[in-house]
Amino acid sequence: MKTVARDKQWAEKYPDLGTEPVPTEPYYSDEHYALERERIFRRCWINVGRVDEIPEPGDYFVREIAICNVSVLIIRGSDGAVRGFHNVCSHRGNTLVLDERGSCPGSLYCHFHNWIYSDTGELIRVPDEENFFDLDKSELGLTPVNMDIWEGFVFVHLSPEPAETLRQYLGGVTEQLDGCPFHEMPLMQTYKVDEQANWKVALDAQNELYHLPFQHHLIVGDAFVKNDKGLIRFQDVNLYNYHSVWSCENNPTRALPPLESMLFNGDDEAPVIRIPQMIGEFDFFVVFPNFVLLLFEVGNSTSYISYNLWPLAVDRTIWEIRMHFRDPRSTRERLQQEYFKCIIRDALQEDAFAHENIHAGLASRAKSHVILQDEEAPIRYFHKVLEDYCGFYRNA
């Protein structure tokens, strides 16, 4: 029997969060955006990708962290180790690698003056080297970026000396998800949406289910258990130092349209693959500041989606969406995955449209605060962590 959580229990579980409205100024303030650059994105561990993207020696990808004007190169060296570097030539500061991803035959070269670096970061060749003054190539390799890997996810830290290790920073997220078989769910689809909205608007809009029966009622509105008022309640909410997770349960009595009934109620269904690290049947992890892991079930198999919210300006964000599925065990599972991708794509398009409308309303300065209910407690917590880092109102 599916259960529905009672009203207002998250305020009881986390009384320190309070129930006050949240100020709107951080969504549109250039001053706050500047604080986020210096006090969050330069001081937190930031997810930039997965090791699956660079399986072979010489494989690399480049991640632009535009809010900090930083380009990061992640490369697997000929020794098999994964390293992170600033994507900057040591000679005159030219951007070294111009492609978003690729593979190099043991070396990288600068397109400006052809300085050449090994795939482990050493400077190995300088044209007209003898015409320089006291040039020491051993001191002029690529500049490392602090980098660490957890369960295949690559994180970087732009501070020369991070205050915490990655594992310390992730805290309870690692305790919950250690051993989760992310590596068994390869990337199947990527979307990048360029939105005219603040990155926090986009993250907040995804960090709740209050809107689902209304905005997505024609697509996925009956997907989860509802109460007698037709509203969705979280199954559980957990807060982990800077991060959070909420969970909910699928609706077992949902009336499936004919196509879904054919795809998901077949006779040749493979055994259910469950992930023991999951809390519910739909877990939404927010890894502060801008990374989301969303674990869910499609048919008889568990999959996940990741979000990265990349700020480009106070009013512009790249919303990067990556869908990961297990290798299908049958034609039916493959069709289930494709159908799910289409359904989620349509729902995310509705979300993207809403993000821009919300930002326009907030940027008009018509409202000084937004009002949050109990099922929006994860949003309230996110803004508490944001203020703890930025101290925007504390220092006002």
Model confidence pLDDT, tens digit, residues 334-387: 888 888 888 889 999 999 999 999 999 999 999 999 999 999 999 999 999 999
At 1 the pLDDT is: 44
The model carries a pTM of 0.94
What's the chain's length in residues?
396
Among 103, 130, 161, identify where a domain stops. 161
CA–CA distance, 113 with 126 (Å, rounded to integer): 8
Per-residue pLDDT band at 227 (split at 50, 70, 90): confident
Alpha-carbon distances of 25 from 204, 363, 366, 377, 393, rounded to whole Å:
15, 8, 11, 19, 10
Q: Are 61 and 53 in contact (CB under 8 A)?
A: yes
Residue pair 379/204 in contact (Cβ under 8 Å)? The answer is: yes
Domain count, the chain: 2
Average pLDDT over residues 145-173: 97
Q: Write out the residue range of the structural domain in which residue 363 sits.
A: 9-40+174-390
**84 lies in the same domain as 189:** no
For residue 255, the domain's CATH number is 3.90.380.10
The CATH number covering residue 125 comes to 2.102.10.10
**92-136 pLDDT per residue, tens:** 999 999 999 999 988 999 999 999 999 999 999 999 999 999 999
Same domain, 52 and 31: no
Residue 14 domain-assigned (yes or no): yes
CA angle (319 as vertex; 343, 11 as ends), nearest 5: 85
